[in-house]
Amino acid sequence: MTTPDVTVTVIVFNDAARLPRAVASLRAQTHANIEIIISDDHSTDETPTVARQLEAQDDRIRYLRLPENSGGCSAPRNRAIEIARAPYLMFLDSDDELPPRAVESLLAAHRERAVDFTMGAVRRVRVDNGRRTTWMPHLVTEHRTVEGIEADPRLLFEHLSTSKMYARSFLDRHDLRFPEGIHYEDQLFSAQAYCLAKAFTIVPEPVYIWYIDPFAAAASASISNQRHKVTNVRDRVHVQRLIDDFLLESGHAGLREDKDFKFLKHDFRMYAGDLPYRDAEWLAAFAEIMNPYLETLSPGAYARLPRAERVVLELLRAGRPADAQLAARGLGHGVAPREVTADEAGVPYWGDGVPDSDRGRRELDLSDLELDTRPFPTAQFRHEITELTREDGACLTLAIRTYDPGLRLPVGPQRAGLLLAPGGRRMTVPFRLDPVRPGVFEGSVRLDLAAAPIPLQGFQGIRHPLVRLNQQGLSNSGLLLAPLDFPTATARIDYHSGATPHEVTIEPENRNPGRLQIRWRPVGVTARVIRPAIKKIARPRVRRAAKLVASLLR
């Protein structure tokens, strides 16, 4: 039997439906001399039957079934390593794929120069909308060989084990295997691989297709999408402590600040965006687990974070979880706090008082946000819906409160507009904001969704209204935060313009900052027949021409 060049292990558990797609992506590789091991973590669905059928179709495929379920990814990978016959190893999850040239590209990099592992770009595909992005694109822009992780510590952010091809001799020389009995095993394994490798090569070609399903049911969600579980927090922190111990024991303590920054910017940041949706009991448990670990992190790692993220961290560490929730809404979107307080020297701090500790004054100091001086188009405001009333049909009346902590708006009533752009066509509804007290304005706007300019062929998608403010010929558009728990409402709209009828759903976003979310879905014959036909025949150039003609006609 010919020795394969590469062994690719597909780990699977109760995923009979998607396993054939993963295996098909391996059988379609341009480099054909590979071994495929399906490593089954003792599935209880039809996976064994499907795996054996696949094994019978291709003599490159071997089926390995674990005698009992391990509850994780490590054991099925490790058991496959034990029986793998090739000098190079790769790993694939059953719900993902490899692009056709993945094995060829990574193997070529190994043959070009002897390195411990090679790695490439990861394409992320959103299951719900098909959107494609590249994971950590700034790290994989060029073909290069890195002489040890200290040469580019940013790579600690790319902690996936599946985007890499490992030399078997490298794994065996260091007895490097996946840690069993814990979650987030990739993070520890990858940290160890980075530190132990003398050299590794990066190729810019895509070598992994990672399917992301942010709305998966809790029972089937990936580990990363189970952040609502306190055990998930505990597992992630536990792995971080193991990585810290390894860095110290292996002589790589100098990487600690970079590793801590990665944890704060990536791991903690994922939880931070969810904080507004957690109850008091969860927040207390989260703080009990997270805060002791946060105290061990390098001050330099905190200093490298954006100010808004430092504020959330400090409020949590200071025992102010409700304030942390408030600060977390709008992270990454330039949303201002409701209130700032200046000390005797004029230094502005987050909230209604000056912090009483050195750390608090350092972390809650908002001077670098330039709330009172930055150009008006990028000025930070906070727009909140304080009351939402649904009328007959698809009409809404929104009571809006705008916070202006930098006092950028002049005294008196302000002209504002509510912006909405379904189908690429903008709709602006003017309204007035009246002053309530310095830095706070309130107003009311009626939004009739039946008046939205929908294209004749319809629009399917989600839009979030924005609030626009104007000052001396300049405009500022900011997102609109909605109540987190208002009831979802759905209405049918038959447009007078002749556009296809739509079902329109008004709902809270239920993730990220929690905006007012409006979802359109075409219904009727036009939606079932004409719209799919247009999408099928309209190439990009044709669509652009159609848009140009439509704009001229308008």
User: What pLDDT is recorded for position 425?
Assistant: 81
Q: pLDDT by residue (tens digit) across 380-430?
A: 999 999 999 988 778 999 999 999 999 999 999 999 999 999 977 899 999
Q: pLDDT by residue (tens digit) across 281-313?
A: 999 999 999 999 999 999 999 999 999 999 999
Q: pLDDT by residue (tens digit) across 264-273?
A: 999 999 999 9
**Residue given tokens 């054996």 in the structure block:** 52
* Higher local confidence (pLDDT), 546 or 397: 397
User: What pLDDT is recorded for position 552?
Assistant: 40
Q: How many CA atoms lie within 13 Å of 219's alpha carbon, on the beta-carbon side?
A: 2
User: What pLDDT is recorded for position 458?
Assistant: 87
Contacts of 434 (CB under 8 A, 6+ apart): 413, 414, 441, 442, 443
Q: pLDDT by residue (tens digit) across 169-188?
A: 999 999 999 999 998 999 99
State how far the alpha carbon of 354 is from the alpha carbons of 306, 328, 343, in Å: 20, 20, 6
In three-state secondary structure terms, 545 is helix
Can you state the angle between helices 19-27 and 47-57, rounded to 10 degrees? 20
Can you state the angle between helices 321-328 and 280-294, rounded to 10 degrees? 90
Q: Would you say residue 198 has pLDDT above 90?
A: yes
128-144 mean pLDDT: 93
In three-state secondary structure terms, 19 is helix
Q: Would you say residue 511 has pLDDT above 90?
A: no
Q: Would you say residue 531 has pLDDT above 50?
A: no
189-212 mean pLDDT: 97
Contacts of 418 (CB under 8 A, 6+ apart): 398, 428, 429, 431, 445, 447, 465, 466, 467, 468, 480
Among the residue ranges 106-110, 156-160, 491-495, 527-531, the one predicted with the least confidence is 527-531
User: What pLDDT is recorded for position 500?
Assistant: 85
Asked if 422 contacts 386 with a C-beta cutoff of 8 angstroms, the reply is: no
Q: pLDDT by residue (tens digit) across 240-253?
A: 999 999 999 999 99
Sign of CA dihedral 146, 151, 156, 158: negative
Q: What is the total residue count of the chain?
A: 554
Q: pLDDT by residue (tens digit) across 435-454?
A: 999 999 999 999 999 888 88
User: What pLDDT is recorded for position 132?
Assistant: 94
Q: Would you say residue 81 has pLDDT above 70?
A: yes
Asked if 121 contacts 135 with a C-beta cutoff of 8 angstroms, the reply is: yes
Asked if 211 contacts 96 with a C-beta cutoff of 8 angstroms, the reply is: yes
Please, what is the average pLDDT of the chain? 92
459-482 mean pLDDT: 94
